[in-house]
Amino acid sequence: MEVGLGRTIITLLLITAQGLGYNRYSYDDYNSDGTYYYDNNDGEEDVPIFLARSQTFTVEVGQSVIIPCDVENAGNNKLIIKKISPNTGKEKLMWVGSERVTRDRRITVDGYRLTLSGVRPRDAGTFLCMFEMEPPIQLRHSLDVQFAPTIRSLAPPEQHVTKGTSLTLECQAEGNPKPIIHWSRQEGPLPSGQSTQLGRNLTLEGVDRLVEGTYLCTADNGIGEAASAAMTIAVEYPPEVTTEKGIVRSGEGDRVELVCVVRGRPTPEVSWTRDGHPLQEAQVDTKLPYLGRRNDTAHLSFIHAAHLSLAHAAHRHILTFANVSEKDFGAYVCIARNTHGQRDAVIQMTGLPKPPQVTSSANGGESTSYTLTWETESYYPITEFLVKYHKSHLGDWQNNHSVVMAGSWETVSRKVELERVREVKEARRHHLALTLTGLQVATDYVAVVRVRNKYGWSAQSPHFTFSTKKAMAVMQTSSGGSWCSIPSSSTTLVLLTLIIQALP
């Protein structure tokens, strides 16, 4: 009675197992007491054998991949396919026999092959083909999904730093394969002089305004398009002030612009003084430039003209005189201030002549005289000039080869004839000359020149060295031929000095 009950229970268990798909078990696999035994000889051909070998599949995002689980002797055993996460190691059941377990509609199974369409980065991992047996029969495949890089900046998109400080820019990139990061600058080369630099970080030491700009960190791994992130650096520094012309020469009735170029961050406030006194708002007509377009080219124009107006465009601050008069001459100071300091620059507006420039040849053609010529610029006629000259000897050169003076200056001044004044009244460039007489033969001289107009004397010209004619004495041979030439005493002295200095 007990044996019959046991066989009845075993029969019910077999029916239940068959309903679950475990058809390989038979009644004969169980002992009379209900325990299971496995006969290697009877079940050897029923053991599933995978035909494929473990593989690693590398695909790019968006492609499809087939995971092979080809098997023979599967019998009635159901193939189970799982996905193992590469990060957590957690298993996820995807397919059992002919039944889908996952909700992902991109996955299909045809026979013993799983197809994954439109691969995504998160699909990477280990795919496990297996049969639940003792021991389990398994086949592992790896899926490597390559995707284009992404990158993000770990620094603010815009940074204001003080001149002289240092800062580090940093970016972080993701992608498969691992991206390479390089740095560049939109405005040109990096401060190091290189066009690019590799690495996650870019350090800028002792910054100044020359390092300002937009820096790009770019990640590239050969998949898809490279990715970039941008960071803008703005350097705060004290004002820097220069002038386009330090001295502006003008004449009555002219239109004159005094231009001051100012840079700084924060943007400096600019003011002007004249001869040490601030220009009051009542004196200056200040207008912002009106930006118009003409023939598709941007230009600046002012709303109206006044005798004295102030405007700025970009870094140029312009003080404009519409109709110069004598009272406008003076020293104008452009003063720039910001939170980091103050700087200024001086522009002298004057009617004085420009310092003369000598134009005559240094080698005179006369033995005891020399004609000195020069030119100068002046908005007004030259009424007088002054020439000072002095004998020099070049033999006693200093270490820096400067001319050694001998004796005192000779001074010659002349009034310019009225007729000459009328002839050059409309000219700005003036050409004048003076013949010096009573000079010594073959002698070197130094001269300086000053000129004068109605507003006063110009600055002195640069020192100019000239010489009177240096005759050559020729010694004749008995046959009448030229044997050698002997230079004048002054030239001989120079040559001997040079020879002596060259000796060891």
For residue 209, what pLDDT is reported?
A: 86
Question: Residue 456: how many CA atoms within 13 Å on its side-chain side?
Answer: 8
How do residues 435-456 score in pLDDT, each as one tens digit? 999 999 999 999 999 999 988 9
- For residue 426, pLDDT over 50 is answered with yes
How far apart, in whole angstroms, are the C-alpha atoms of residue 234 and residue 224?
A: 33
pLDDT band with cut points at 50, 70 and 90 for residue 254:
confident
How far apart, in whole angstroms, are the C-alpha atoms of residue 354 and residue 374?
A: 12
Residue entry with tokens 């000095």: 497
268-to-24, 238, 263, 278 alpha-carbon distances in Å: 91, 8, 7, 17
- For residue 369, pLDDT over 90 is answered with yes
Say what the pTM is.
0.55
Q: In angstroms, how far is CA 330 from the centroid of its own chain?
A: 40
- For residue 9, pLDDT over 90 is answered with no
User: Partners of 52 in the beta sheet?
Assistant: none
- For residue 10, pLDDT over 50 is answered with no
- For residue 499, pLDDT over 70 is answered with no
How do residues 14-39 score in pLDDT, each as one tens digit? 334 444 443 433 334 433 433 333 34
For residue 35, what pLDDT is reported?
A: 34
User: Partners of 227 in the beta sheet?
Assistant: 219
- For residue 397, pLDDT over 70 is answered with no
pLDDT band with cut points at 50, 70 and 90 for residue 352:
very high
For residue 44, what pLDDT is reported?
A: 53
For residue 276, what pLDDT is reported?
A: 85
H-run or E-run covering 161 = strand 158-162
Residue 483 vs residue 343, higher pLDDT: 343
H-run or E-run covering 286 = strand 285-286
How do residues 270-298 score in pLDDT, each as one tens digit? 999 998 888 865 455 444 443 333 333 33
How far apart, in whole angstroms, are the C-alpha atoms of residue 321 and residue 11?
A: 118
Token duo for residue 495: 């040559």
For residue 393, what pLDDT is reported?
A: 66
How do residues 87-112 score in pLDDT, each as one tens digit? 888 999 999 998 999 999 999 999 99
For residue 451, what pLDDT is reported?
A: 96
Residue 461 burial class via C-beta count within 10 angstroms: exposed 0-12, middle 13-18, buried 19 and up: buried
Q: What percent of the chain has pLDDT over 70?
A: 72
| Mean pLDDT for all residues in the chain | 80
How do residues 190-201 score in pLDDT, each as one tens digit? 999 999 999 999
